[in-house]
Amino acid sequence: MSSQMGKIQIYTGDGKGKTTASLGLAIRAISRNLKVGIIFFDKGGNYYGERKILDFLKDKGLNYKAFGEPRMTENKGFRFTHAPADLQQAQLAIDQAHLWMKEDFNLLILDEINTTVKTGLLKLADIVELIKSKPSNLELVLTGRYCPPEVMELADLITEMKLVKHYISTGQAARKGIEY
């Protein structure tokens, strides 16, 4: 492992592509025999297509866990409100992140963790504490909209996805295989 590992990366903004960018990084790391962990915050349910391919990478150095109550149903669409179980799932996810930081991962991706403060699932202090407990050689990636400025201050790299135009504003529903 390179001595240059150990940076903190953030993918945020209101544009599409934050999770996709982090998954691309995961694939690159796995191809270089690095051990990768991905924790999906507030992404429960079995309708996220990327997990189907991630299952094939488990024997190549990838581990992932998804937390959160299901938010999407075929007939009712997306659920935007939070239930007590969502709060419990967010706590389980951050507990898992603390555990994996003690293991020998080279890259740990915390997908949608940035959004959890804005939505009230986690406290800012929980995320800051987690980042500050990061081992010096662990590359850490945090994704999601609404990244708090206090988290940004701790980062080495911040990429902001900017929404310029999106077909969803015309009423287009999320599409299987493209948005999820």
Provide the mean pLDDT of the chain. 90
Pick from 37-46, 61-70, 93-102: least confident: 37-46
Q: What pLDDT score was predicted for residue 173?
A: 82
Amino acid letter for position 148: P
Task: Please give the torsion angle defined by the CA atoms of residues 112, 113, 114 and 115, in that order, rounded to the nearest 10 degrees.
Answer: 60
Q: What is the rounded distance in angstroms from the CA atom of residue 12 to the CA atom of residue 15? A: 8
CA distance 20 to 131: 22
**Any idea which fold 8-170 has?**
Rossmann fold (3.40.50)
| Domain boundaries defined on the chain | 8-170
Q: Report pTM.
A: 0.90
Cβ(96)–Cβ(119) below 8 Å: no
Rg (CA), the chain: 16
Mean pLDDT of 64-73: 81
Apex CA 101: angle with CA 111 and CA 120, to 5°?
40
Report pLDDT digits (tens) over 71-104.
Answer: 665 655 655 667 788 899 999 999 999 999 999 9
- Residues forming beta bridges with residue 40, ordered by sequence position: 66, 111
The larger pLDDT score, comparing residue 166 to residue 44, is at: 166
